[in-house]
Amino acid sequence: MTKLFRSIATYVAMIAGIAGVFLVLYAWNLPPFHGSVEMTNDAYVRGQVTLLSPQLAGYLVDVPVQDYQRVKKGDLIARIDDRIYTQKLEQAKATLAAAEAALANSEQSHKSAEAKIASAKAAVESANAALEVARTTYERTEGLLEKNIASRSEAEKNRAAFNQAQAAVHQAEAAELVAEQDLNTIVVSRRSLEASVESAKAAVELAEIDLANTRITAPQDGTLGEMTGRIGQYVSVGTQIGSVVPDHVWVVANFKETQLAGMRPGQEVVFTVDALGHQKFAGRIERFAPATGSEFSVIKADNATGNFTKVAQRIPVRIAIEPQQPLTDRLVPGMSVIASVNLAQTSTALAQAAEFD
């Protein structure tokens, strides 16, 4: 009887061991239980969550929204005390007005300088004409003096008039040169004034931007997260006061590298969401990550030293959610999901394509 019991116990132990091995193979989806469906529970709902922060410093005077509130693009989230920035804008506008007035005055000076040049040119022409008259009179008197017809005093008087006419011409030419130099100075000064006006305009625009930035608005449609900004709080540039969660979400599933052989973009995906009672959703593979998840980590594993144990790496796969499905409006970033991809559809399609070729 003892031998019989030992045989039965050995047989039961063998059966239990074999069943345990098959159970492990089945649990890990390994041959001969490996099917055409690849599944992973290392998957999450993702979205482009936007952090809200001011672009300038100041005290919050208005926070008209609440946690988890729906907002539209452009809705006011918070407002910074704008009194200083309003005065800076007025100051910039006053500087611009002064620069424009100086430029207008320069324009008037330019016209006046051009008129002075025209007057100087006319004076030069008049002086040259007077010089010709004086020269003719002087030369005629000198001829008459040689013939003893004119007196010496008259000849000296005409010579003095001729010399005076020459001096008048030189004086008129010098006045014309001065007028031209004045015009050049005004032209150079005008360029500086024009630059001052442009600089003042830029200062006004910057002041307007700063004033507008005192209003922190929603960058897109979505739902607010927890608002950390409070009325009376001093915030600096970059201080996070809240976040906006967008309506558009997707799924990122981290499949093992050994599961990707039969996957292609456009392939149908079924995933369930833990938070929604394992509600099923349909999606499609959109694209694959260009590297494994470990390659994006800050500290990468160094396998060049010590003992090496091969571990299957995971590659993120982005899955687009099919529209117009029940409960999709309740999907939010961070939810855990279980994603499944049926590779049989791809295998059938590839076989049909091979037959067609």
pLDDT of residue 100: 85
The yes-or-no verdict on residue 347 having pLDDT over 50 is no
Task: Say if CB 235 and CB 60 are below 8 A apart.
Answer: yes
Closest CA to 235 of 260, 258, 216, 259: 216
**What pLDDT sits at residue 298?**
63
For residues 195, 198, 200 and 205, what is the CA-based torsion angle, rounded to 10 degrees? Answer: -160
Same fold, 34-49+246-298+310-356 and 54-80+215-239: no
- For the beta carbon of residue 326, count every other beta carbon within 10 angstroms: 10
Least-confidence region, from 128-132, 202-206, 246-250: 128-132
- Of 242, 243, 231, whose CA–CA distance to 81 is shortest? 231
Query: CA angle at residue 257 from 256 to 263, to 5 degrees?
Result: 95
Please give the Cα distance from 81 to 58 (Å, whole number): 6
* pLDDT confidence of residue 231: 94
Residue 34 has pLDDT above 60, yes or no: no
pLDDT value of position 287: 93
Given a cut of 50, whether residue 351 has pLDDT beyond it is no
> What CATH number was assigned to the domain covering residues 34-49+246-298+310-356?
2.40.30.170
So where are the chain's domains? 34-49+246-298+310-356, 54-80+215-239, 83-212
What phi and psi, each to the nearest 5 degrees, are found at residue 286?
-95, -50
Give the pLDDT mean for 171-186: 72
Give the residue among 82, 85, 332, 69 at the shortest CA–CA distance from 218.
69
What is the rounded average pLDDT for all residues in the chain?
80
Task: Supply angle C-alpha 158, 160, 164, rounded to 5.
Answer: 115
pLDDT digits (tens, 9 = 90+) for 297-341: 666 666 666 666 677 789 899 999 999 899 998 999 999 999 999
Alpha helix positions (H), the chain: 2-27, 83-146, 152-212, 344-356
pLDDT score at 267: 92
Distance CA 210, CA 240 (A): 18
Query: Do 271 and 281 meet the contact criterion of CB atoms below 8 Å apart?
Result: yes
Residue of higher predicted confidence among 214 and 185: 214
Domain 54-80+215-239 has CATH 3.10.290.20: no
CATH (residue range 83-212): 1.10.287
Centroid of chain to Cα 70? 26
Lowest-pLDDT choice from 105-119, 148-162, 201-215: 148-162
